[in-house]
Structure 1
Amino acid sequence: MSTSRDNGPASTDPGRVDPAVLRMAITLIVGALGVVFDTTILSVALNDLATELGAPLSTIQWVSTGYLLAVFITIPLAGWAQSRLGGRRLWGVALGGFLAGSILSALAWNAGSLIAFRIVQGLAGGIMMPLLYTLLMQAAKGRNIGKVMAVITVPTALGPILGPVLGGLVLHLADWRWLFLINIPCCLIGMWLTRRNLPDDRPAPDQPRVRLDAVGLLLLCPGSAALLYGLSRVDGSTGFASAQVIVPLVAGLALVSGFTFRALTRASAPLVDVRMFRHRSVASSSTLLFLGGISLFGSMMLLPLYFQQVRGATPLDAGLLLIPQGVGALVARGLAGRYMDRVGPRPVALVAFVFVAASTVPFAFVTADTSEILLMAALFIRGTALGAAMIAPMGAAFVGLEHEEIPDASMITRVAQQIGGAAGVALLLVILQQNLGDARTPLALANGFDHAFWWSVALAAAAVPLCLLLPRLPAPATPADSTARESSKSMGPTAP
């Protein structure tokens, strides 16, 4: 059972985020910065890595793909590991593993060693991201969810947007090894803050231990990884109709289906409780995060390619042109969080996805001569809408859940967003390459991008009616309500 100092004093102002929760949020965000940016920082560095390490692009792309596969393997373990070690110890162990992986990646001597060390990073990162959301949602205890999500989703929203900018800047000033060395300060400061600010929530010696669902692990982790692998192998010429895509996708679906059936019929706790989908909050939020992942990551593939292939921008220039979208996402944090606490996630998500679709429309009409000012204005609006579109379903997923259900909801929503991102990149890449064909002139290239952007508009628009399924936020909990609720039941094994 956790101690009384676990979450600090509750705020007496129901509209104000508990200072102890804010300290925890800052601590976790600092430690997670490297993980957030590492997912996308290499997107502009693959050509440099291929040259420096003397390997073809088909091999070097595994520097990113291997990382994502490793992330998928460990995401389902986060809840079980937290129940065994406690949140603070697990966060420290994962942060130390990410630091080790970063140092080793910077010391890599060839493509094979770099891929292996990136997998070490991914294994640690897969634990950290769902744990970040779990610890903060547990500490907030249902109060001011919008404001809390506005704080902790800043880096996760900006990572895909600012990652390519940071990568281009590093390569402009130094060599590729600094792409990993810049993680060291974040990790070291994060470790110090962890010991200082996170509560000691180790389970009591006499507390029942949660057993690892080993069979579920052997079904879900390889199944999720196979799905992502299959999506990563989609080729523009053959699309999804090739053995290298179909075989892992079918195998992944079979394994995940087997896990789902077993989890639904298992008496004891499964690795991930898929029965969480009986909660409308989890089911609707996961669907929207899947579509949001398509919109976010799919566009992050299309936009840099458009700027480079049609407008002749360098990797650094392409990254800099995306800054308005990042600024818009930053602006959205406070606005979306404030209105979500005031009117609930449903109207916020509805308006946000409408603007995501509308602000993508200008890119479907782009030519090589389209004004950059117009495009950057559209990117600012799009970034603001995307930021709000991520906050609303992420916060809504935890509405009405019990304390011990939060880790499962955190993992499910995280996986939904990541698979959506992988599916979006694969789908839009196939559409783009099939429409580009042998295009060489700027006009022909722009016409090819038009089709891909129209698909991006349609996918964002498909999320609009689904926003109506999001729950309404309950009335804000008062400190008295929270105290009575906590005293009426014992804390679960994953309590902070």
Structure 2
Amino acid sequence: MMTHGEVQRLDPALRRLIGVVLLGGIMGILDGSMIAVAADRLAHDFGTSLATVSWVSASYLLALTVTIPVTAWAVDRVGGRRLWLGGLAVFLIGSILCGLAWNVESLNAFRVLQGIGAGLVDSLMLTLLARAAGASRVGRVMGLMGVVGSSGPVLGPIVGGIILDSLSWRWMFLVNVPIGLLALALSLRIVPRDADNTAPVGRLDVIGIALLGPGVAAGVLALSQVAERGTFTSTWALAPLAAAFLLLGGYAWHALRPRRAAPLIDLRLFTRPSFAASVLVGGLVGLVTFASIFALPLYQQLVRGHDTFEAALLLAPLGIGSAISMPLTGRRSDRVGARLLALGGAILAGLSALVFTQIGPQTSQVWVTAASFTIGFGLGAVGAPTISSLYRTLPAELVPQGSSVLYMLNQLGASIGIAAVAVVMLTAGDGNPLSGFHAAFWTVAVALAVLILASNLLPGRLAPQEPREQPPAGSDTALAGAEEPA
């Protein structure tokens, strides 16, 4: 991990900014996964079904996903600081209301509000830190941020289990209140004020929002329905999937046709090889990470007989491995580029996935823990260099758009990973949990083979470049932007 001395070598202002941004961001990251262990409790307390309770997670995820593309435009219109403070406030209000919810319908509505706040905060974490760090330090800062991001999906169920063991489910939301108030107070003092922007900001692409946000949300909803129902042929999955294709296809036509106003996300970004490779790898990392997080607790519960809280604790080595790896490789990528580090991490994760295809009910827990640690370490070695390469090779004015695309594809990858593993474990196991688990990790291994190939497309060592003035946002020159590394 980043040592104390290495943190101290960062500018004091940057160190403080990193701290307050990570404090604000950890709430949304934990809240997205913490609720997973509360489904039974919520169904019992509200007297409803698990299918209805599943919308407590789905409504949050859908609201978060829809908010992401709007952030790229709003950060220039409103300013990063104002938007960050607004996102924290919305998330805090949503958390309070969730803790006071009187039925499952009101909880779902308040989770939408909470998800909007999380969408703003999560997207701005990347943008604020990348802009403050600069190209020469973006790797180490993104690696440090990755500690929080990679630990959240693992720590969330553990924290949720601790709360549910002795307190009401309401405290899963109310615990955000002191953290949110502290983050708001520190942000008012530490997050730098937005510079006066004399450049004109284009009008909001309302048509783009109407197509892109719901299109991505429909895709996520379709995948969550596949995971819940165990089949792709259910009307509940096919209807939103068809809507996603129509809406996203409509957005592609809208964004690429000649027009005066800039689209919400300029698809010409994908003509930059380094950007296209980075977001592809980012999506695959999300897929493999959440597929593993979904499958490993089921092995511990269904094959080894552990309870929910024990299974959550035994998932911790994956998060620890990633938390150790991301700062190390992120910092290293500032000097050697992303390609070799990501390739090595993908190979290590692939070998770990193959180990999981061979374990059984009597396999020593030491080997299972070791494989969990190494798959997390390998994925961390892919994630941090990939994120830093995206920010290092994009012009500064395109960072918000790049952040939105990366985060959306990572979320989609996570949804695909969960859905794929759920379907495979249900259909390939024939009622045998161990066979289903093996089939799930063969699926993960195939995805990691694709990830190994995609890692070769990432930028290598960066040639030193003199600082130069960035071209105006949205121009063709801006899209050409920084030079492509070797």
Q: TM-score, normalised by structure 2?
A: 0.92
SS in 2 for 1:51: helix
Question: Which residue of 106, 109, 112 maps to 1:116?
Answer: 109
Tell me: CA distance 1:36–1:237, structure 2 relative to 1, closer, same or farther (3 Å): closer
C-alpha displacement of 1:328: 1.1
Question: Which residue of 204, 211, 216 maps to 1:219?
Answer: 211
Query: Counterpart in 1 of 2:278?
Result: 285
Matching of residues 384-463 of structure 1 within 5 Å? 384-437=377-430, 439=431, 444-463=432-451
The answer to whether residue 241 in structure 2 is matched with residue 249 in structure 1 is: yes
Aligned-CA RMSD value: 2.1
The answer to whether residue 232 in structure 2 is matched with residue 240 in structure 1 is: yes
1-structure distance, mates of 2:52, 2:136: 47
1-structure distance, mates of 2:364, 2:308: 19
Count residues in correspondence: 468
Amino acid corresponding to residue 458 of structure 1 in structure 2: V
The answer to whether residue 90 in structure 2 is matched with residue 97 in structure 1 is: yes
Amino acid corresponding to residue 370 of structure 1 in structure 2: T
Amino acid corresponding to residue 155 of structure 1 in structure 2: V
The answer to whether residue 312 in structure 2 is matched with residue 324 in structure 1 is: no
Query: Counterpart in 2 of 1:365?
Result: 358
What does the per-residue CA deviation read over 1:302-354, in whole Å, with 9 as the maximum and x for residues that have no partner?
A: 11111111111111101111121122112112321232122110001000111
Q: Is the Cα–Cα contact under 8 Å of residues 216 and 271 in structure 1 kept in the other structure?
A: yes
Q: Is the Cα–Cα contact under 8 Å of residues 38 and 163 in structure 1 kept in the other structure?
A: yes
C-alpha displacement of 1:79: 1.5
Tell me: CA distance 1:16–1:260, structure 2 relative to 1, closer, same or farther (3 Å): farther
Q: Is the Cα–Cα contact under 8 Å of residues 237 and 434 in structure 1 kept in the other structure?
A: no
What does the per-residue CA deviation read over 1:93-135, in whole Å, with 9 as the maximum and x for residues that have no partner?
A: 1100000010111111111111111111101111111111111
Q: TM-score, normalised by structure 1?
A: 0.90
Amino acid corresponding to residue 457 of structure 1 in structure 2: A
Give the ranges of 4+ consecutive aligned residues of structure 1 lying more than 4 Å apart after TM superposition. Answer: 235-238, 488-492
SS in 2 for 1:466: helix
1-structure distance, mates of 2:217, 2:350: 30
Amino acid corresponding to residue 242 of structure 1 in structure 2: S
SS in 2 for 1:72: helix
Tell me: CA distance 1:465–1:489, structure 2 relative to 1, closer, same or farther (3 Å): closer
2-structure distance, mates of 1:489, 1:408: 16
Tell me: CA distance 1:242–1:490, structure 2 relative to 1, closer, same or farther (3 Å): closer
Amino acid corresponding to residue 205 of structure 2 in structure 1: D
> Per chain length, whose mean CA-contact separation is higher, i.e. which structure has more relative contact order (CA < 8 Å, sep 6+)?
1
Query: Counterpart in 1 of 2:266?
Result: 273
Q: Is the Cα–Cα contact under 8 Å of residues 345 and 393 in structure 1 kept in the other structure?
A: yes
Amino acid corresponding to residue 414 of structure 2 in structure 1: G
C-alpha displacement of 1:42: 1.2
2-structure distance, mates of 1:473, 1:46: 47
SS in 1 for 2:449: helix
Query: Counterpart in 1 of 2:165?
Result: 172
Amino acid corresponding to residue 470 of structure 1 in structure 2: L
2-structure distance, mates of 1:202, 1:18: 19
C-alpha displacement of 1:370: 1.4
Q: Is the Cα–Cα contact under 8 Å of residues 353 and 463 in structure 1 kept in the other structure?
A: yes
What does the per-residue CA deviation read over 1:447-487, in whole Å, with 9 as the maximum and x for residues that have no partner?
A: 2211111111111121101111001252456xxx44xx35x
SS in 2 for 1:436: coil
SS in 2 for 1:365: coil
Amino acid corresponding to residue 174 of structure 1 in structure 2: L
Q: Is the Cα–Cα contact under 8 Å of residues 86 and 203 in structure 1 kept in the other structure?
A: no
Matching of residues 48-197 of structure 1 within 5 Å? 48-197=41-190
Question: Which residue of 462, 466, 474 maps to 1:474?
Answer: 462
Q: Is the Cα–Cα contact under 8 Å of residues 398 and 473 in structure 2 kept in the other structure?
A: no
The answer to whether residue 17 in structure 2 is matched with residue 24 in structure 1 is: yes
1-structure distance, mates of 2:473, 2:238: 45
Q: Which moved more, 1:415-424 or 1:399-408?
A: 399-408
Tell me: CA distance 1:315–1:51, structure 2 relative to 1, closer, same or farther (3 Å): same
Amino acid corresponding to residue 100 of structure 1 in structure 2: I
1-structure distance, mates of 2:331, 2:68: 30
C-alpha displacement of 1:284: 0.3
2-structure distance, mates of 1:226, 1:412: 16
2-structure distance, mates of 1:37, 1:409: 24
Question: Which residue of 252, 277, 294 maps to 1:301?
Answer: 294
Q: Is the Cα–Cα contact under 8 Å of residues 286 and 412 in structure 1 kept in the other structure?
A: yes
In structure 1, stretches of 5+ residues that fail to align are 1-12
What does the per-residue CA deviation read over 1:124-150, in whole Å, with 9 as the maximum and x for residues that have no partner?
A: 111111111111112223122211111
C-alpha displacement of 1:235: 5.4
Q: Is the Cα–Cα contact under 8 Å of residues 146 and 327 in structure 2 kept in the other structure?
A: no
Tell me: CA distance 1:338–1:80, structure 2 relative to 1, closer, same or farther (3 Å): closer
In structure 2, stretches of 5+ residues that fail to align are 1-5, 475-486
Tell me: CA distance 1:296–1:449, structure 2 relative to 1, closer, same or farther (3 Å): same
Amino acid corresponding to residue 272 of structure 2 in structure 1: H
- Of all paired residues, the percent bearing the same amino acid is 38
Query: Counterpart in 2 of 1:10?
Result: none
Amino acid corresponding to residue 235 of structure 2 in structure 1: A
Tell me: CA distance 1:131–1:247, structure 2 relative to 1, closer, same or farther (3 Å): same
2-structure distance, mates of 1:187, 1:236: 32
Query: Counterpart in 1 of 2:482?
Result: none
C-alpha displacement of 1:238: 5.9
Query: Counterpart in 2 of 1:231?
Result: 223
Q: Is the Cα–Cα contact under 8 Å of residues 230 and 422 in structure 2 kept in the other structure?
A: no
Q: Is the Cα–Cα contact under 8 Å of residues 236 and 433 in structure 1 kept in the other structure?
A: no
Query: Counterpart in 2 of 1:465?
Result: 453
Q: Is the Cα–Cα contact under 8 Å of residues 230 and 244 in structure 1 kept in the other structure?
A: yes
Q: Which moved more, 1:120-129 or 1:328-337?
A: 328-337
Tell me: CA distance 1:464–1:241, structure 2 relative to 1, closer, same or farther (3 Å): same
Q: Is the Cα–Cα contact under 8 Å of residues 85 and 203 in structure 1 kept in the other structure?
A: no
1-structure distance, mates of 2:297, 2:230: 23
C-alpha displacement of 1:16: 5.1
1-structure distance, mates of 2:130, 2:278: 15
1-structure distance, mates of 2:116, 2:301: 32
2-structure distance, mates of 1:258, 1:281: 26
2-structure distance, mates of 1:185, 1:237: 38
1-structure distance, mates of 2:172, 2:122: 20
